[in-house]
A and B are shown apart, each in its own frame.
Chain A
Amino acid sequence: MSTPSAMVEARGIHKSFGSLDVLKGVDLDVRAGEVTVVLGPSGSGKSTLLRTLNHLEKVDSGSVRVNGELVGYRRSGNKLYELRERDILKQRTKIGFVFQNFHLFPHLTVLENLVEAPVAALRRPKKDAVAGARALLDRVGLADKADAYPRTLSGGQQQRVAIARALALEPELLLFDEPTSALDPELVGEVLDVIKDLAHRGTTMIVVTHEIGFAREVADTVVFMDGGRIVEQGPPGQVLDHPRHERTKSFLSKVL
């Protein structure tokens, strides 16, 4: 029933907020080691789709599997029972999430931000977590900021810390929700560089973004969403340069 190489399989995702249908039946497959970039106008449902993938948003119907495991639910017969919070939290440790507005913990230092989850959620010894955190900070070029408080950093630095914080749990999958949309233009590049580096290391990622250049350069698959549906998807050369749908064409003509 499932192709063995698909790491993420979303099937028939529906989600509405009140009378507003945000997702109207979305299917999405992401293979391990690939980068999927989700494009689309505001309100097209791309962020909501991303949030359903780690159960931050509960679906109204449909299912999400990551590495074959149902996210947020247990199937019995023809019913999906929502899991206990403990089990959902455990699943989330395998799915890193990077927010548009970083959401670093402002009362903790950069190092404490990175150490918190491995110690609390994975019960890793503090010493190991600190060593791992320092290595990650080094990787995102912020080794000297370990003892700084987030608010003393630039937006680009904060987002790099947030990425390192997500990586500290060694997730199998990384989700990025418009990671550069809250940044000053001159800070976008440093964050995209970190994400590109992850892509080259073979990290499986789904990136919701407006950065077309990034999509062209890094994506294995580009997904274009509009009105709560996936309009078309394919390799960047196809979707970005030879879009088949009118809505994709008109969107690209506005942002390119």
Chain B
Amino acid sequence: MSSVDPVSATLDAPAPSAAAPPGTSRPAAPRIVPRRRTGQWASAVAVLALLVPAAVSVVRNDAFQWDVVADYFLTDAVLRGLGLTLWLTVLVMALGFALGTLLATMRLSANPVLRGVSWGYVWLFRSMPVLVQLLFWFNIGALYPTILGVRTVDLLDPVAIAVIGLTLHEAAYAAEVVRGGILSVEKGQLEAAQSLGLGAWRRLRRIVLPQAMRAIVPPAGNMLIGTLKGTSIVSVIAVQDLLYSVQLVYHRTYQVIPLLLVATLWYVVVTSVLSAGQYLVERHYARGAAGAR
């Protein structure tokens, strides 16, 4: 090994005949032989040996009832459930991040009361399981039978309760994600904006948040995908999302596995689309950054 000079080897290698005058006897550059990676081969074979039989059994086991999966995949009931799941996801994500951004700016403000309230909110709503919170809102009528003269049960249908419960939960996590993003922006950026006379709102919206987005987008993408699947929890309060829709079918037909597969496949499809979207958004916010463009 030590006798091979890597620099001269690469320099000489491409053109021993062209560069060297004919007849002169420069020694041929030694050929480079990569190290054998026996362990890689062995581990690959071992993994495939486990995976292939599992895949074969999934395809060949009739109990999966792939034909039933195909039958129900595009039925109206399933698509309506999917629609509600997507709508819930988008709404909860948007409201959650709006509230989360507000909480993050409160937490970073100079006002000790706002800081304390924001901290308390995040502490409370991160402590409470989202399922417990949904059940609590579902029974809010026991605490406040009427709100502004309207019966609570008339005011808050299960979908509204789902939106409220999931949003309050989402906002607590979004607040921490946004706060982390804002803290990642160099302090000098704020000073430069201040010395140019930019107002607080303009500084936040135009200077700080766009730069914070680089640190916010990856965890936010994670949260979006988590929220998509997390909305399935609303099936416990009889909101007809994707999961509840297939449950309604299999309670009737007892085809539990294929209908759960229908729901699973849809979650996989949407998650894949969202992951691709995250890549595009990340690229957008990387503009001007080192390594971009």
Contact = CB atoms under 8 A, between A and B. Distances in A.
B129 interface: no
A107 B197 contact: no
Interface in A66-103: 85-86, 89-90, 92-93, 95-97, 99, 101, 103
A101 B194 CA distance: 15
Interface stretch (B82-90, B199-207, B274-282): B199-207
Contacts, number: 77
A56 B196 CA distance: 11
Contacts of B210: 107
A56 B289 contact: no
Residue among B188, B192, B194 with the highest chain A CB neighbour number at 10 A: B192
Contact of A150 (B186, B285, B288): B288
Contacts of B211: 105-107
Nearest to B187: A103
A75 to B, nearest CB: 22
A131 interface: no
Interface stretch (A24-32, A116-124, A183-191, A207-215): A116-124
Given A101-B188, A107-B211, A85 B200 contact: yes
Contacts of B202: 120
Interface string B82-105: 000000000000000000000000
A149 B286 CA distance: 11
Contacts of A120: 197-199, 202, 206
Nearest to A97: B195
Contact of B195 (A90, A92, A101, A107): A92
B191 A105 contact: no
Contact of A116 (B186, B196, B285, B288): B196
A104 B194 CA distance: 13
Contacts of A52: none
Contacts of A149: 287-288, 293
Residue among A56, A90, A104, A106 with the highest chain B CB neighbour number at 10 A: A106
Nearest to A152: B293
A126 interface: no
Interface in A161-177: 165-166, 169
A103 B191 contact: yes
A96 B192 CA distance: 10
A105 B197 contact: no
A116 B206 contact: yes
B139 interface: no
Contact of B196 (A86, A93, A152): A93
B146 interface: no
Contacts of B273: none
Nearest to B186: A103
A165 B197 CA distance: 12
A99 B191 contact: yes
B199 A89 contact: yes
Contacts of A106: 211, 288-289
Contacts of B290: 151
A120 B288 CA distance: 21
Given A92-B196, A95-B195, A107-B289, 7 more contacts: A89-B198, A92-B194, A92-B195, A116-B206, A120-B199, A149-B288, A151-B290
30 contacts: A86-B199, A89-B194, A89-B198, A92-B196, A95-B195, A99-B188, A99-B191, A99-B192, A103-B188, A103-B189, A104-B192, A105-B192, A106-B211, A107-B285, A107-B287, A108-B288, A109-B288, A116-B196, A116-B198, A116-B206, A117-B196, A120-B199, A120-B202, A149-B288, A150-B288, A151-B288, A151-B289, A151-B290, A169-B196, A169-B197
